[in-house]
Structure 1
């Protein structure tokens, strides 16, 4: 591995991860990006072997960023690195053909294990995430959260933070009408008529995860 990109809007996270990596890969060149436009610019100018990407980033949709990275350079491995709920987000990003999902709640040295597995061509998941993926294969959907697409969950995340349609559209670089469509689908899948009930029902079901 020659070049690595860390995409996270928190400098202390980027520097901490970089230090851990440098101890095991002293010759690697590490680039940093703080938002999605910055990440795209760096990615277009350098041939990276690995990109470590936070899920929640300013400047657009991480979902679109991952798709763009994969299309631009299919040989670049992608490791998602997030403090968001691993059970809810991990499997969804694995299905997008990223190479691994690592929770920020894991010990620091686990990032080296994840990187080594990913560079060897394996998919990295924690034992907890593997267990959830396997158990999900054995049962039908009962929890509406599990029926959501990654984009729907992305929109829902901002709804839970109190953002309105226009704000969500701006943050994800989507049309307002597109956000309205996703919100309508969310209401249908949770069988609710308003945002307050949507939030309450989400909180009820996520207790099971």
Structure 2
């Protein structure tokens, strides 16, 4: 039996995932959390096979959460669920130690397949993302590209900005202050040598970062 612990800050998403997972005869849900800090407290006592975690939550989240939980429980399998489909997210999560990456836009059956594959000790990445990663390797995309030097949170703000979201929108989405988002915006624009949002959009389009 594959035991799964779910962490997502949206209750309706957790409910949907719980319903889907418990409908599978070979899976069970052993716990849930609405933020990364709660997950860190509870997972050691639940000892799940797979930790299914949202990439962006209040408290400890993202790469920090992956690295922290795996230091405490090195045998735990981690499958990351994200609203972003950019390949940089997949690359960063796998490098941080995650065993799989799937977006929230994928069909329900694919999530179950991903959980099974990760539980078996394999790495799971959606086929189209795997193709993009292979393409980038073939054409020699460098880790020195400006967007690869952004932190996880800066990259998230960057993608939201080029998709037309305002600072206030992003702050609400990430559960942080507008001032914090503005700080991330200023830092990422400096790292990318951008004078305005139009420069960021042009960069994202030129590097295939917009879906």
Range class of TM-score, shorter chain: 0.7 to 0.9
In the aligned structure 1, how far is the partner of 2:83 from the partner of 2:133? 19
Task: Measure the CA separation in 1 of the matches of 2:166 and 2:101.
Answer: 23
2:59 is aligned to 59
Which residue is 1:105 aligned to? 105
C-alpha distance 157-140 of structure 1, shift in aligned 2 (>3 A): closer
Partner of 2:191: 189
Listed as ranges, the gaps of 5+ residues in structure 1 are none
Q: CA deviation at 1:62?
A: 2.3
Q: Provide the residue aligned with 2:199 in structure 1.
A: 201
Residue 136 of structure 2: aligned partner:
136
Matches within 5 A, 1:79-90: 79-90=79-90
- 2:6 and 2:29 in contact (8 A); partners too: no
Give me the TM-score of the superposition, normalised by structure 1.
0.78
Q: For residues 90 and 136 of structure 1, do their structure 2 counterparts lie closer, same or farther at Cα, with a shift above 3 Å needed? A: same
Structure 2 residue runs without a partner (length 5+): none
Kindly state the Cα deviation for residue 185 of structure 1 after the two structures are TM-superposed: 5.6
Q: What is the RMSD computed on CA atoms of the aligned residues?
A: 3.2
CA 1:184–1:77 in structure 2 vs 1: closer, same or farther (change >3 Å)?
same
Question: Residue 84 of structure 1: CA displacement?
Answer: 1.7
In 1, Cα distance between the equivalents of 2:26 and 2:159?
37
Give the aligned partner of residue 22 of structure 2: 22
Q: Superposed, which structure 2 residues align to 1:131-170 within 5 Å?
A: 131-138=131-138, 139-141=140-142, 144-150=146-152, 152-154=154-156, 156=158, 162=167
TM-score (norm 2): 0.78
Q: Distance in 2 between matches of 1:161 and 1:64?
A: 26
Paired positions, count: 198
